[in-house]
Amino acid sequence: MTPADIRSHIEKLKIRGKELESALSAPDVYSDLVNFRRMSQELSKLDALFSNFDSWENALNSLAENQAMLSGETDPEMRELLETDIADLNQQSVDLEKKVQLALLPPDPNDAKNIIVGIKPAAGGDEAALFAGDLFRAYLHFAEKQGWKVEILDESATDLGGIKDVSFSLSGNEVFSRMKYESGVHRVQRVPATEASGRIHTSTITVAVMPEAEEVELDIKPEELRFDVFRSSGPGGQCVNTTDSAVRVTHIPTGLSVASQQEKSQHRNKEIALRILYARLLERKQEEEAQKQAASKRSQVGTGDRSERIRTYNYPQNRVTDHRFNVSSFDLPKVMEGELDLILEPIIQINCERQLEELRG
């Protein structure tokens, strides 16, 4: 993308920015909160883009001025100062141009959505369940650092403190755009707390990151849903087993089924089950649409297939490696304390650069 192309694109986006400002100042803007949130996030991104573009233009202008001054300067000290400034401005202009180009990439239509995350042990028994709990807590710490809202939708624990299954929602700014890289199989290599001989075990868990569905995205008729109620079991207090509060909802055309027994209220469990079911149906719909397109046009973050091994957490080597992008962090404890940007920032940068190369090609 040439500088002229960038400037032309920015001028078009400034028109869009004015349209958003006008729409957000309308008296009835709060009547549709979903649309209000989407427009607010779009305008916020545009404002950041315009700020970087202005900084880039200023850096280029200063660079041209200093280069012109240098060509006529004879004083050695002044030439040295100008050369230093020129080197700094060159680097600034390169960095800012990259930021602007990255911001001009076509957005993922899901990026502004809130998400539902599901974590389940795969291979490894108790150790897989324990690591599922560790990663769950890492996501909660990360969400707290990002200022996201967390809602536990369903959770089932093991006797040893691990996780059999957990579903939770995350809402806030750029939730999907960062967490979408987590979907897939996560592998852990470490000595389990239950292992007396000190042998390193390999276990796996699956993570599903699904954008929350909005009603307009799914055409589901009431007669396509079947609701079954049953008695809750497992942890949840003495009251949980005394009534038929658990709910299972099945989408008859696809056979997809979700059960919820987290809450004591049947109404609340029905709401949770529907949210998870709708997210799964949207995920399936988007996967089917993606498969209709050429493989070269599909997302660089991978297929999102739950069977795709995306990351390894190697405790003896203090290393986290993402296999899709060949990115590693050698500060595993910090990652597990919620410092996920140690691995996510380079992943996002590489993915954006790949998309830029595709546009140039």
Are 24 and 99 within one domain?
Answer: yes
What is the H or E stretch that residue 227 is in?
Answer: strand 225-230
Q: What is the CATH number of the domain that holds 238?
A: 3.30.160.20
Q: How far is CA 232 from CA 157, 161, 275, in A?
A: 15, 20, 19
Percentage of the chain modeled with pLDDT above 70: 89
Given 66, 81, 103, the domain boundary residue is 103
In this structure, is residue 296 part of a structural domain?
no
In this structure, is residue 109 part of a structural domain?
no
Q: How far is CA 295 from CA 122, 298, 361, in A?
A: 28, 5, 16
Residue 188: strand, helix, or coil: strand
Q: What is the CATH number of the domain that holds 130?
A: 3.30.70.1660
Are 35 and 132 within one domain?
Answer: no
Q: What is the CA radius of gyration of the chain?
A: 25
In this structure, is residue 99 part of a structural domain?
yes
Neighbour tally for 186: CB within 10 Å: 23
Are 29 and 70 within one domain?
Answer: yes
d(CA 165, CA 156): 5
pLDDT tier for residue 156 given thresholds of 50, 70 and 90? confident
Are 53 and 199 within one domain?
Answer: no
**pLDDT exceeds 80 at position 16:** yes
193-236: pLDDT as tens digits: 767 677 888 999 999 999 888 766 677 888 889 988 887 765 44
Q: What's the domain count of the chain?
A: 3
230-242: pLDDT as tens digits: 877 654 444 445 5
287-325: pLDDT as tens digits: 777 666 554 344 444 444 445 789 999 999 999 999 999
Q: In the numeric block, which tokens belong to residue 8?
A: 């032309």
Mean pLDDT of 9-34: 90
In this structure, is residue 308 part of a structural domain?
yes
Rounded to an integer, what is the distance from CA 122 to the centroid of its chain?
22
Q: Indicate left, alpha or beta for 237 from its phi (over 0: left) and psi (-120 to 50: alpha).
A: left
Q: 3-state DSSP: the chain helix, strand, coil percent, rounded to 5?
A: 50, 20, 30
- Position 264, amino acid: K
Tell me if the pTM is above 0.75: no
Residue 3: strand, helix, or coil: helix
Are 186 and 136 within one domain?
Answer: yes
d(CA 113, CA 35): 11
In this structure, is residue 256 part of a structural domain?
yes
Q: How far apart are the first and last CA of the chain?
A: 10
Q: How far is CA 285 from CA 35, 113, 210, in A?
A: 22, 16, 12
User: What's the confidence (pLDDT) of residue 191?
Assistant: 87
Residue, of 134 and 102, whose pLDDT is higher: 134
Residue of 357, 346, 347, 217 whose CA lies nearest to 296:
357
- Number of residues written out for the chain: 361
State the Cα angle at 176 between 307 and 37, rounded to 5°.
155
Are 209 and 313 within one domain?
Answer: yes
Partners of 347 in the β-ladder: none
Full residue range of the structural domain in which residue 252 is found = 218-291
Tokens 């190697």 -> residue = 314
Average predicted confidence (pLDDT) for the chain: 85
In this structure, is residue 174 part of a structural domain?
yes
231-288: pLDDT as tens digits: 776 544 444 455 678 888 999 999 999 888 878 888 888 888 888 998 888 888 887 7
Are 91 and 47 within one domain?
Answer: yes
In this structure, is residue 147 part of a structural domain?
yes
- Which contacts of 299-306 are long-range, i.e. CB under 8 A and separated by 24 or more positions? 299/108, 300/351, 300/354, 300/355, 301/180, 301/181, 301/351, 302/183, 302/184, 304/180, 304/183, 304/184, 304/209, 305/184, 306/183, 306/184, 306/185, 306/206, 306/208
Q: In the numeric block, which tokens belong to residue 23?
A: 């729409």
Are 16 and 76 within one domain?
Answer: yes
Q: How far is CA 35 from CA 41, 110, 116, 335, in A?
A: 10, 14, 20, 34
Are 324 and 179 within one domain?
Answer: yes
In this structure, is residue 352 part of a structural domain?
yes
Are 248 and 324 within one domain?
Answer: no
Tokens 């040893």 -> residue = 160
Are 194 and 227 within one domain?
Answer: no
User: What's the confidence (pLDDT) of residue 266?
Assistant: 85
